[in-house]
Amino acid sequence: MPQQRVVLKNCEVIDPERIESYLAKDGFKALAKARQEMTPEQITNEIKASGLRGRGGAGFPCGIKWEGARTAPGDIKYVICNADEGEVGTFKDRYILEKDPFTLVEGILIAGHAIGAKQGYIYLRAEYHHLLQHLQSTIDQVTQRGFLNGFKLEIREGAGAYICGEESALMDSIEGKRGEARYRPPFPTTSGLWGKPTIINNVETLMNIPPIILNGAAWFSQMGTERSKGTKVFSVSGDVEKPGVYEMALGSPLRELVEDLAGAKNIKMVQIGGATGRVLPAEKLDTPLAFEAVLGAGAVTVYNRSRDVIDIVHRTMEFLAEESCGKCTPCRQGTEVMAEVLAKFAKNEGSLKELQNLADLSSAMMLASMCGLGQAAPNAVMDSLQYFRGEYEKRVAS
Amino acid sequence: MCAPDHSKNINRVGLFSYLIVEKKISLNINGINVSARPGLTILEAARENGIDIPTLCHIPDLLPIGACRLCVVEVAGSRTLVGSCHTPIAEGMVIQTHSPKVIATRRVLVELMLASHPDACLICDKANICELRRIAADLEVGLPRFRARKHYFPVEDENDRMVRDMSKCVQCRRCVMACKSQSGQPLFSMAYRGFDSKVIYGNDQPLDRDACRDCDACIEICPSGALRKPRKPGEERADKALFIKG
Ligand SMILES: Cc1cc2nc3c(=O)[nH]c(=O)nc-3n(C[C@H](O)[C@H](O)[C@H](O)COP(=O)(O)O)c2cc1C
Ligand code: SF4
Ligand code: SF4
Ligand code: FES
């Protein structure tokens, strides 16, 4: 399967600095259709029918989320665009923000209309500060053309914490608090930002909204698999000839992405979904890229045979231990214990007993952690133990 | 370090008020059908029905904290375990509070807390009233299987009402919540991240002479030896002496 450009169709095509260039490519036609021809209920139904699932990692059905916020009681509601892009190895949202910020704003405005929100925020990753001017200019041009229609759209900058990409911590951060995960329920759709009904969606999710509204749910759901509709934008990096951003229909085999498109050779393993993502060995390259198999936010990091699995997994765990918000026991303590155990293996001082303990620890972290970070933190350890157990056993102290 | 959260409303009343309906909710806990008032948490409903679930960060009547995770239970249909202290009951819920999976998970949690806890129980002033020890004993946790580096902080003993030893803190945050409920200007807040996160006073300075003299709410509620009253030998004991039978 070659690349298929739905989300990225305007990237490198339009001039991202000029709204005229976007208008010439059917820009804001979907917004006009949504506002003039569709009720909020029809919009959420269309999104539900499309099968669009969140592109920020968790894959939650977008239409169901919107419906929850639309029907939640309350006059004040919010739309948040999650542009924190903190997952290790992801850079697709940055590419989108750089090359086609207008489609994103159009998607946010349609979301606002669908749930009855008058205010929205774009939560921008601290490291993307250089995009602040560019995005503000986008919003200004959209405002001047009168497309906001009373909607207020502001940019909020993060402060460099991975956890602030997690939706509840992100809302704390916008509220000016320490960014920490909250327990759910209440869910953001009933009690989100400042306690008001809120939807929070990834950049790429919102990019899919204007084409779905223009072309219809049936058109969208032709692409992809049974449970993963549409396309996905991947950030490919590591030991590949052509690192970069690629868009493919969901369900495409991993091999086509990393070997055919990105030109990887001598693959040892691929990490899909970043630090909290899955690890697959070369034998599993025919795995489809879909929510029902492996996907996450679409970070694909390739490692060739010169790489050391233990070293990669150890560094992944050190990152998670540092970025855990520290609120709940399994994640705060568990990531630290794991990082210390892996450090021993990295120095050839591991023990078989500790390997056994890692399995029990993983299961408790996955079951009891409060948010996705702690729940998914053991993924790389568990996957590498499944596929590369020999490498661990070689590092046991003699 | 981030700005402390000074939000005023921390009373549990009103939490899940959007769920309050007239009718009672029927649910099944450990195979027994029970009914409970809407708006209750799983923990509250279980306790009303005589089932005890261990908790370390929970404070009745205040907003749930959700930090320790000891109160996790199995709810049919849920991918993960759920925190019973902060999850509202729902019609038809099927709950297991002491299944093998739940017990195994709680054990790991206690072992994780002990992994970085100083081995100081023998000389700890609160050993005989320590909730962490009691829960560990209930779950038959002995020496933890896991090891993590210990936090070494100097004991803060300048204040004549309270001694603070953050090496023993299990980060339940009860002190933060309890203080918030008592005073408009809370003494403690959370700082740093991950394993380095810490309950701090001011800008992370030792508790000083005139830090606080108002109440002992935080000391009373601290489940570990981290917060205690200064005590001289021969003065009133916290509870009867502790004996551990093997
Ligand atoms: C630790 C952690 C970090 C996250 N970081 C991001 C992020 O940087 N960007 C993002 O869109 N979603 C991130 N998420 C997922 C969000 O919590 C949330 O699911 C997502 O923004 C919802 O939007 P979607 O349904 O459109 O994917 C993160 C989740 C966790 C647990
Ligand atoms: S799982 Fe980790 S990041 Fe999430 S709330 Fe718990 S400590 Fe914080
Ligand atoms: S000092 Fe005590 S009450 Fe406060 S967080 Fe630590 S263990 Fe909990
Ligand atoms: S008592 Fe529920 S998380 Fe601590």
Residue A275 beta carbon below 6 angstroms from any ligand 2 atom: no
Split into its structural domains, chain B has a count of: 2
| Mean pLDDT taken over chain B | 90
CB-based contact A368:A327 (threshold 8 Å): no
Q: Of all helices (H) and strands (E), which one includes residue A220? A: helix A217-221
| B198 occurs within a structural domain | yes
- CA distance to A13, A45, A73, A149, B136, per residue, from B173 (Å): 53, 43, 32, 45, 19
Query: For residues B226 and B175, what is the distance between their CA atoms, to the nearest angstrom?
Result: 10
Task: State the burial class of residue A202 (Cβ atoms within 10 Å of its Cβ: 0-12, 13-18, 19+).
Answer: buried
- Please give the pLDDT value at position B184: 72
- The reply to whether B114 and B211 lie within a common domain is yes
Domain boundary among A287, A304, A321: A304
CB spacing of A367 vs B72 below 8 angstroms: yes
- Per the DSSP assignment, residues forming a β-bridge with B188 are B201
Instruction: Sheet containing A78-83: give its strands across.
Output: A152-157, A119-124, A78-83, A198-202
A104 φ/ψ sector (left φ>0, alpha ψ -120 to 50, else beta): alpha
Instruction: For helices A92-99 and A132-144, give the axis angle rounded to 10 degrees.
Output: 40
**How many domains, in total, are found in chain A?**
3
End-to-end C-alpha distance for chain A, whole angstroms: 49
* A256, A374: one domain: no
CA distance A152 to chain B (A): 25
pLDDT at B3: 38
Indicate whether A322 and A388 sit together in one domain. Answer: yes
Shared domain for A148 and A237, answered yes or no, is no
- Order across the sheet with A231-238: list the strands: A244-249, A231-238, A299-304, A267-272, A278-281
The DSSP secondary-structure symbol of B139 reads T
Neighbours of A157 (CB within 10 A): 17
pLDDT confidence bin for B215, thresholds 50/70/90: confident
pLDDT by residue for chain A (398 residues), tens only, comes to 688 999 999 999 999 999 999 999 999 999 999 999 999 999 999 999 999 999 999 999 999 999 999 999 999 999 999 999 999 999 999 999 999 999 999 999 999 999 999 999 999 999 999 999 999 999 999 999 999 999 999 999 998 899 999 999 999 999 999 999 999 999 999 999 999 999 999 999 999 999 999 999 999 999 999 999 999 999 999 999 999 999 999 999 999 999 999 999 999 999 999 999 999 999 999 999 999 999 999 999 999 999 999 999 999 999 999 999 999 999 999 999 999 999 999 999 999 999 999 999 999 999 999 999 999 999 999 999 999 999 999 999 87
**Token couple for A235:** 């950030």
Closest ligand 3 atom number to CA of residue B188: 4
The 8-class DSSP code of residue A259 comes to I
Looking at the structure, do residues B221 and B115 belong to the same domain, yes or no?
Answer: yes
pLDDT (0 to 100) of residue A2: 80
Q: Are residues B69 and B123 in the same domain?
A: no
Q: Say if residues A115 and A69 touch (Cβ distance below 8 Å).
A: yes
Mean pLDDT, residues B85-97 taken together: 97
Beta carbons of A317 and A381 less than 8 angstroms apart: yes
At A197, which CATH number? Answer: 3.40.50.11540
To the nearest whole Å, the CA of A32 is away from the closest chain B CA by 35
pLDDT given at position B19: 67
Identify whether A16 is preceded by a cis peptide bond (ω within 30 of 0). no
A225 within a domain of the structure (yes/no)? no
* Residue ranges of chain B whose CB lies within 8 Å of a chain A CB: 2-5, 7, 16, 18, 64, 66-70, 72, 80-81, 83, 86-88, 101, 104-105, 108-109, 112-113, 115-116, 145-149, 170-171, 190, 192-197
Please list every residue in chain B whose beta carbon sits closer than 8 Å to the beta carbon of residue A177: 2-3, 5, 7
* B73, B145: one domain: no
pLDDT of B2: 38
Q: Do B116 and B81 sit in the same domain of this protein? A: no
Q: Quick one: average pLDDT of B25-40?
A: 96
Domain membership of residue B24 as a residue range: 12-98
Q: Final residue of a domain: which of B98, B129, B151? A: B98
pLDDT at B8 over 60: no
CATH number, domain of B38, equals: 3.10.20.740
Q: Give the pairing type, strands B163-164 and B227-228.
A: antiparallel
pLDDT attached to residue B1: 36
Domain holding A389, by residue range, is: 309-393
Contacts of A191 in chain B (CB under 8 A): 18
B234 burial type by CB count under 10 A (0-12 exposed, 13-18 middle, 19+ buried) = exposed
- Taking the CA of residue A319 and the nearest CA in chain B, the distance in Å comes to 10
Q: How far apart are CA B26 and CA B90, in angstroms?
A: 8
CB A233 within 8 A of CB A10: no
* 3-state DSSP percent of chain B in helix, strand and coil, to 5: 25, 15, 60
Distance of CA A117 to the CA centre of its chain: 23
Q: What is the ipTM of this complex?
A: 0.94
SS3 B48: helix
Tokens of B158: 């300048």
Q: Which ligand is nearest to the CA of B167?
A: 3
A11 part of a folded domain: no
The residue among A319, A300, A323 whose CA lies nearest residue A92 is A300
CB–CB contact B171 A335 (8 Å):
no
CATH of the domain at B221: 3.30.70.20
For residue A11, the model assigns a pLDDT of 97
Which protein residues touch ligand 4 with a CB less than 6 Å away?
B 55-58, 66-71, 83, 85
Q: Does residue A99 line the site of ligand 2, with CB under 6 A?
A: no
pTM: predicted TM-score of the whole model, two decimal places: 0.94
Q: Do B3 and A334 touch (CB under 8 A)?
A: no
Q: Of A194, A218, A242, which closes a domain?
A: A218
Q: How confident is the model at residue B6 (pLDDT cuts 50, 70, 90)?
A: very low
∠ CA A129-A163-B88, rounded to 5° = 135
Q: Is B224 in the pocket of ligand 3 (CB under 6 A)?
A: yes
Same domain, A178 and A281: no
* Cα–ligand 3 centroid distance for A376 (angstroms): 27
Bridge partner list, B33: B28
B62 and B124 housed in the same domain = no
Beta partners for A279? A271
Residues A278 and A162 in one domain: no
Q: How far is the CA of A318 from the centre of ligand 4 (A)?
A: 26
- Among B82, B111, B146, B169, the strongest candidate for a mutation testing the A interface, having the largest count of A CBs within 10 A, is B146
Tell me if B234 is assigned to some domain: no
E strand intervals along A276-388? 278-281, 299-304
Helix (H) or strand (E) run with residue A122 in it: strand A119-124
From the list A366, A386, A392, A390, the residue with the least C-alpha distance to A276 is A366
Nearest to B148 among A163, A190, A336 (CB): A336
| Mean pLDDT within B164-175 | 97
Q: Which of A218, A252, A273 is the last residue of a domain?
A: A218
Domain CATH for A317: 1.20.1440.230
Looking at ligand 3, which residue's alpha carbon is closest to its atom 3? B222
A252-280 residues labelled b (16+ CB within 10 A) or e (exposed): bbbbbbbbebbebeebbbbbbbbbbbbbb
Q: Judge whether A323 and A373 are in contact, CB under 8 Å.
A: yes
Residue at token pair 């894959």: A59
Task: End-to-end CA distance of chain B: give it in Å, rounded.
Answer: 44
C-alpha to C-alpha distance for A286 and A240, rounded to whole angstroms? 17
Alpha-carbon gap, residue A201 to A53, rounded angstroms: 10
A205 lines ligand 1 (CB under 6 A): yes
Residue A195 sits in the same domain as residue A282: no
Ligand closest to the CA atom of residue A64:
1
Is the shortest distance between the CB of A190 and ligand 2 below 6 Å?
A: no
Q: B149: which chain A residues are within 8 Å (Cβ-Cβ)?
A: 336, 340
pLDDT, mean of residues B203-232: 90
- Measure A183 CA to ligand 4 centroid, in angstroms: 11
B185 bridge partner residues: none
CB-based contacts of A168: which residues, under 8 Å, 6+ apart? A180, A181, A182, A184, A188, A371
- Distance CA(A339)–CA(B180), nearest Å, equals 34
A378 CB within 6 A, ligand 2: no
Q: Are strands A299-304 and A267-272 parallel, antiparallel or unpaired?
A: antiparallel
Residue of A318, A336, A353 to mutate when probing chain B, most B C-beta within 10 A: A336
Distance CA B188, CA B4 (A): 8
